[in-house]
Amino acid sequence: MPQIQLLVVQPTPFCNIDCRYCYLADRTNKSVVAGETLHNLFTQVFASGWADQGLSVVWHAGEPLVLPIAFYRDAFAMIERLRPAGLSVKHSFQTNGTLIDDAWCAFIAEAEIAVGVSIDGPRHLHDRNRVTRSGRGTFDKTIEGIRRLRTHGVPFHVISVLTAESLAVPQEMFEFYLAEDIEHVCFNVEESEGEHRSESFARAGIENAYYDFLSEFWRLSAMHPGRIQYIREIDDAQRNVLRPRDAGFTNQLATPFAITSMDWTGNIATFSPELLGLKSERYDNFVLGNINRDRLVELAERPLLKRMQTDIDAGIALCRERCEYFSVCGGGEPVNKLFENGSFATAETTYCRITKMRATDLVLDRLENVSNLVEGGKAPPPFANPPPVM
Amino acid sequence: MSLRVKYQTILSQLAPAGAVGASLALGAAAPAVASEPPTGDQPSAVDKEKVSERLAAVRDAVTALDQTRTDAAKAEGRLAWGNWGWGGGGGWGWPNWNNWHNWRNWGNWFRNW
Residue B24 with chain A: CB contacts under 8 Å = 222, 225, 382-383, 386-387
A10, A41 Cβ separation under 8 angstroms: no
Dist CA A362 CA A358 (whole Å): 6
Residue B45 with chain A: CB contacts under 8 Å = 361, 364-365, 368
A168 CB within 8 Å of a chain B CB: yes
Residue A91 with chain B: CB contacts under 8 Å = none
Is residue A46 over pLDDT 70? yes
Within 10 angstroms of residue A348's Cβ, the number of other Cβ atoms is 19
Q: By mean pLDDT, which of A121-130, A361-370, B4-13, B85-94 is the weakest?
A: B85-94
Mean pLDDT calculated for residue range A127-144? 97
**A199-216 residue pLDDT tens:** 776 777 889 999 999 999
Residue B45 has a pLDDT of 46
Identify the helix (H) or strand (E) that includes residue A8: strand A6-9
A223 CB within 8 Å of a chain B CB: yes
Mean pLDDT calculated for residue range A285-303? 97
DSSP alpha helix (H) spans, chain A: 35-48, 69-82, 102-111, 123-129, 139-151, 164-167, 170-179, 199-202, 206-223, 232-241, 296-299, 303-322, 334-341, 350-352, 358-376
- For residue B29, give the nearest of A60, A253, A366 by CB distance: A366
- For residue A90, give the nearest of B96, B102, B106 by CB distance: B106
How much is the mean pLDDT over chain A?
A: 92
Residue A69 has a pLDDT of 98
- pLDDT tier for residue B38 given thresholds of 50, 70 and 90: very low
Q: Is the ipTM of this complex over 0.85?
A: yes
CB contact under 8 A, B10 and A374: yes
CB contact under 8 A, B34 and A383: no
Residue A91 has a pLDDT of 95
Residue A117 has a pLDDT of 96
Is residue B39 over pLDDT 70? no
Distance from CA of A303 to the nearest CA of B (A): 25
**A140-185 residue pLDDT tens:** 999 999 999 999 999 999 999 999 999 999 999 999 999 999 999 9
Residue A305 has a pLDDT of 97
Is residue A248 over pLDDT 80? no
A261, A251 Cβ separation under 8 angstroms: no
Residue A114 with chain B: CB contacts under 8 Å = 106, 109-110
Dist CA A261 CA A118 (whole Å): 20
CB contact under 8 A, B60 and A245: yes
Is residue A82 helix, strand or coil? helix
- pLDDT tier for residue B72 given thresholds of 50, 70 and 90: low
Q: What is the pTM of this model?
A: 0.87
Residue B29 with chain A: CB contacts under 8 Å = 366, 369-370, 373, 382
**A348-386 residue pLDDT tens:** 998 899 889 999 999 999 999 888 877 776 654 544 444
